[in-house]
Amino acid sequence: MSRATSFLALAVILVIVVVGGLFYLDQAVEPQAQTVEKVLPNDQFTR
């Protein structure tokens, strides 16, 4: 194989590995949910 073909094959393999890793991380990592409670004072609202 020529040098350009080897470089192209290596670049394609590298892209496949990176995309596969990103897909795996997207499926493996679960986002953590947190509930947030905020109390608003009554004097903030007009009657």
- Sign of dihedral through CA atoms 36, 39, 44, 47? positive
pLDDT tens string 1-47: 799 999 999 999 999 999 999 999 988 888 889 999 998 888 777 76
Alpha-carbon distance of 22 to 14, in angstroms, equals: 12
Q: Where do the domains of the chain lie?
A: 1-30
pTM of the model: 0.57
Alpha-carbon distance of 15 to 11, in angstroms, equals: 6
